[in-house]
């Protein structure tokens, strides 16, 4: 269970995350939605200790993220952000192998190699495993990074806007994959999403943020309805039920 | 064509590249020690041996410091000198000569000077790091940028003092700032070896983090690296290595760039366990081989630092043209 207590982060005088206390459910997919500048990515960065906070605490299974040794936490929680610029030239297999670093510190065991092969197979990257990352398309690169995170074999997987720069097909593939990871591997997946229809279709739990605060959280039914969405986005959003799933239409 | 080159490059095992480099290095040493040797061996061996030892220390220091610096900054056209490390050395020397005179500075124990310089350089690196990493902006690029500006400030301040200094004193300074691989600082060899040994031990203990750091700050933290601690430690190591090489031969700008990038190309992967030894061996080969050619072929008609800086500068321009600066 990820529990935040009063986390606050300000840049200069601007408060980006304002006294957020929330418990994210274990297992399944939790989506964080909200307008631009709501503090979604900042909160995810704070939870995953990429960013320090000005006040508050974050615990993952009872471990304080700012005090727990990095490698202990790295075996429990993984984070993937969007821009993964790197100067080193790596193959897909090299990158995925880094997911085992928290366990083996660079000396791969037979067990590690098995995890690497599994992660590569899970993302259908077998044909690309010897290719360099800069020879891949955006979607393939994205999959390679997700394979690294899965190879890290953590209970909690945090992804910051994983659908950015992906076309419909790849975006859907990514979400289906997260669904499988949650169902088959029992992972807790936390995503920051902009497309509320993806959130509605694939999430078990939705957290809505606005102006640095959590304004609403609950099951998909609680959040994906016109009243709740108007409070989050300040606009009229029609919600239709299609095949048992809620779809929002916001084109005016 | 590029693909064919790529394929050819991939097929050579890093271990083979290292073995070949080792062989070339040994060949260079043998030739350097024996070519044109006239007179007593009891003179030649210590005389040329000291030169080889100094070149080994300097080559190792420059290669390792550049590769590590490029790893933590995620940029392959940066060298530690861009952060103002060399400029700081120039400023210390200029200030000393300016205030106490060239003759008085020459009488100070060089080991004492060396320790003082190293301490100042490490303090400088730490101050930069502390100031930038405890503030709100935790950006390594800002650190480098500030380093460049401080370096420019150091250089301007030094050249201002050099302009108003006694011309004789200026000549002493000029001599000191011109990198020379031929004169051996025998007093400093022992202390340099000890420092480099200590740096190597520390670097060995954290070497598994190097490859991870190349993935960027966020990925490194995700994989459990204590990023701030490790980067600070690496910057300290780099500062010590740069002090050793500048104290032994003077400031060198492009040499590290040259050997680091040659090493990346020859090894073909980014694994530090291969790249660092390759870069160190290449640096050693360039220095010993270059010095040998200079002495035997060009009959001391030019200085090694000029050739090396010229080649390094050409590589630098090529890298920028090829867009490796991203």
Kindly report, residue by residue over A19-58, the tens digit of the pLDDT: 999 999 998 999 999 999 899 999 999 999 988 889 999 9
CB-based contact, A81 to chain B, within 8 Å: yes
If contacts are CB pairs under 8 Å, which of residues 217-236 in chain B contact chain A? 217-219, 221-227
Q: What is the residue-level pLDDT of chain B in tens, covering all 326 positions?
A: 344 444 444 557 888 889 999 999 999 888 888 887 777 888 888 888 888 999 999 999 999 999 998 888 887 878 887 777 778 888 888 888 888 877 777 777 878 888 888 888 888 888 877 776 655 455 667 777 887 888 889 889 988 988 888 888 888 787 777 767 777 777 888 889 999 999 999 999 998 899 898 888 889 999 999 988 898 899 889 989 988 888 888 878 788 888 998 898 888 877 899 999 999 999 999 888 888 888 877 776 667 777 777 787 787 778 777 765 44
Judge whether residue A176 has pLDDT over 50: yes
> What's the full length of chain B, in residues?
326
Q: Which of A16, A42, A86, A87 to mutate to test the interface with B (most CBs of B within 10 A)?
A: A87
Q: Of A156, A144, A154, whose CA–CA distance to B215 is shortest?
A: A144
Inter-chain CB proximity A49 and B221 less than 8 Å: yes
The beta-carbon neighbor of B76 closest among A80, A87, A95 is A87
pLDDT attached to residue B4: 44
3-state per-residue secondary structure call for chain B: CHHHHHHHHHHCCHHHHHHHHHHHHHHHHHHHHHCCCCCCHHHHHHHHHHHHHHHHHHHHHHHHHHHHHHHHHCCCCCCHHHHCHHHHHHHHHHHHHHHHCHHHHHHCCHHHHHHHHHHHHHHHHHHHHHHHHCCCCCCHHHHHHHHHHHHHHHHHHHHHHHHCCCHHHHHHHHHHHCCCCCCCCHHHHHHHHHHHHHHHHHHHHCCHHHHHHCCCHHHHHHCCCCHHHHHHHHHHHHHHHHHHHHHHHCCCCCHHHHHHHHHHHHHCCCCHHHHHHHHHHHHHHHHHHHHHHHHHCCCCCCCHHHHHHHHHHHHHHHHHHCCCCC
B214, B218, B269 ranked by CB distance to A87: nearest: B214
- Residue A84 near chain B (CB below 8 Å): yes
> Tens digit of pLDDT for each residue in A185-194?
899 999 999 8
Give me the pLDDT at residue B139, please. 67
Q: Which ipTM score applies to this complex?
A: 0.89
Residue B47 is predicted with a pLDDT of 83
What is the rounded average pLDDT for all residues in chain A? 89
Answer whether residue A216 shows pLDDT above 60: yes
Query: Which of A11, A86, A101 has the CB atom closest to B224's CB atom?
Result: A101
- Quote the tokens at residue A18: 């304002």
d(CA A194, CA B80): 41
The reply to whether residue A87 touches residue B212, judged by beta carbons under 8 angstroms, is no
Question: Does A80 lie at the interface with B, CB-CB under 8 angstroms?
Answer: yes
Consecutive H or E run containing A86: none
**pLDDT value of position A63:** 92
Check CB contact under 8 Å for B269 and A84: no
Q: Give B221's contacts in chain A (Cβ within 8 Å).
A: 48-50, 70
Nearest CA among A77, A78, A112, A80 for reference residue A93: A112
- Rounded to the nearest angstrom, the gap between the alpha carbon of residue A83 and the centroid of all alpha carbons in its chain is 14
Chain B residues lying within 8 Å of A11, measured CB to CB: 136
Measured between beta carbons, the chain B residues lying within 8 angstroms of A49 are 221
Cα B258 to Cα B287: distance, rounded to the nearest angstrom: 12
Classify each residue of A189-203 as buried b or exposed e, where b means 16 or more C-beta atoms within 10 Å of its C-beta. bbbbbeebebbbbbb
Element (H, E) at A103: helix A101-104
**Count of Cβ atoms closer than 10 Å to residue A115 Cβ:** 21
User: Does residue A16 carry a pLDDT above 70?
Assistant: yes
Residue given tokens 């979607």 in the structure block: A139
Give the pLDDT score at B135: 52
Helices B41-73 and B227-249 pack at an angle, to 10 degrees, of 150
Question: Which residues of A fall within a CB distance of 8 Å from B71?
Answer: 87
Question: What Cα–Cα distance (Å) separates residue A123 from each residue in A139, A145, A149, A177, A180?
Answer: 11, 10, 11, 8, 11
A153 and chain B: CB distance < 8 Å anywhere?
no
Query: A112 to chain B: which residues are within 8 Å by CB?
Result: none
Measured CA to CA, the distance from residue A165 to residue A171 in angstroms comes to: 9
Give the gap in angstroms from C-alpha B219 to the nearest C-alpha of chain A: 7
Q: What is the pLDDT of residue B137?
A: 52
pLDDT at B11: 57
First-to-last alpha carbon distance for chain B, in angstroms, is 23
Could you say which of A73, A80, A94 has the minimum Cβ distance to residue B224?
A73
**CB B214 to CB A86 under 8 A?**
yes
- Percent of chain A predicted with pLDDT > 70: 99
pLDDT given at position A166 = 82
Report pLDDT digits (tens) over A55-101: 999 999 999 999 999 889 999 999 998 777 766 778 899 999 999 99
User: What is the arithmetic mean of pLDDT over A209-220?
Assistant: 91
In 3-state terms, what secondary structure has residue A128?
Answer: helix
Q: How confident is the model at residue A11 (pLDDT cuts 50, 70, 90)?
A: confident
Instruction: Flag whether residue A85 sits within 8 Å of chain B, measured between CB atoms.
Output: yes
Across the interface, do A69 and B224 touch by the CB < 8 Å criterion?
A: yes
- Helix B110-133 crosses helix B85-100 at what angle (to 10 degrees)? 130
Query: What distance in Å separates the CA atoms of residue B31 and residue B133, rounded to the nearest whole number?
Result: 49
Paired residues of A77 in beta bridges = A156
């Amino acid at each position: 269970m990820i529990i935040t207590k009063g986390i606050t982060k300000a840049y200069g005088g601007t408060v980006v995350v304002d006294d957020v206390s929330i418990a994210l459910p274990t297992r399944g997919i939790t989506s964080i939605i909200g307008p631009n500048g709501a503090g979604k990515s900042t909160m995810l960065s704070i939870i995953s200790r990429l960013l320090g906070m000005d006040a508050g605490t974050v615990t993952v299974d009872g471990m304080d993220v700012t005090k727990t040794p990095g490698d202990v936490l790295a075996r429990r929680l993984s984070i993937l952000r969007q821009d993964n610029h790197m100067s080193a030239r790596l193959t897909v297999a090299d990158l995925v192998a880094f997911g085992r670093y928290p366990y083996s510190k660079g000396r791969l065991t037979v067990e590690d190699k098995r995890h690497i092969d599994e992660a590569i197979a899970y993302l259908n990257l077998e044909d690309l495993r010897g290719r360099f990352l800069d020879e891949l398309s955006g979607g393939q690169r994205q999959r390679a990074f997700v394979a690294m995170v899965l190879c890290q074999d953590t209970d909690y997987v945090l992804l910051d806007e994983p659908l950015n720069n992906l076309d419909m097909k790849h975006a859907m593939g990514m979400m289906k994959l997260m669904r499988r990871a949650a169902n088959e591997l029992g992972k807790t997946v936390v995503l920051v999403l902009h497309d509320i229809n993806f959130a509605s279709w694939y999430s078990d739990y939705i957290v809505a943020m606005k102006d640095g605060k959590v304004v609403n959280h609950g099951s998909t039914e609680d959040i994906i309805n016109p009243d709740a969405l108007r409070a989050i986005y300040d606009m009229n959003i029609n919600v239709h039920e299609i095949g048992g799933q809620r779809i929002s239409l916001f084109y005016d | 064509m590029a693909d064919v080159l790529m394929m050819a490059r991939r097929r050579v095992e890093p271990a083979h590249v290292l073995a070949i480099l080792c062989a070339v290095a040994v060949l260079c040493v043998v030739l350097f020690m024996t070519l044109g040797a006239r007179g007593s061996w009891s003179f030649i061996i210590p005389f040329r041996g000291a030169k080889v030892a100094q070149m080994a220390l300097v080559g190792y220091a420059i290669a390792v410091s550049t590769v590590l610096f490029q790893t933590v900054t995620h940029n392959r056209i940066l060298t530690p000198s861009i952060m103002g490390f060399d400029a700081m050395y120039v400023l210390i020397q200029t200030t000393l000569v300016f205030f106490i005179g060239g003759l008085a500075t020459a009488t100070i124990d060089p080991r004492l000077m060396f320790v003082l310089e190293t301490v100042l350089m490490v303090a400088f690196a730490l101050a930069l790091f502390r100031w930038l990493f405890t503030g709100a902006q935790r950006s390594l690029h800002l650190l480098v940028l500030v380093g460049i500006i401080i370096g420019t400030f150091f250089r301007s301040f030094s050249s201002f003092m050099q302009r108003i200094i006694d011309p004789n004193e200026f000549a002493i300074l000029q001599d000191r700032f011109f990198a020379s691989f031929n004169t051996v600082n025998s007093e400093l060899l022992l202390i340099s070896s000890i420092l480099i040994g200590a740096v190597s031990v520390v670097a060995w203990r954290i070497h598994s983090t190097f490859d991870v750091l190349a993935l960027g700050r966020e990925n490194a933290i995700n994989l459990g690296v204590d990023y701030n601690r490790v980067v600070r430690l690496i910057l300290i190591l780099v500062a010590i290595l740069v002090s050793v090489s500048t104290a032994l031969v003077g400031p060198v700008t492009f040499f590290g760039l040259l050997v680091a990038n040659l090493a990346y190309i020859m090894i073909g992967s980014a694994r530090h366990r291969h790249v660092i030894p390759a870069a160190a061996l290449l640096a050693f080969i360039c220095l010993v081989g270059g010095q040998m050619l200079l002495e035997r072929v060009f009959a001391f008609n030019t200085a090694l630092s000029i050739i090396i800086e010229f080649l390094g500068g050409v590589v630098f321009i090529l890298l920028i043209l090829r867009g490796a600066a991203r």
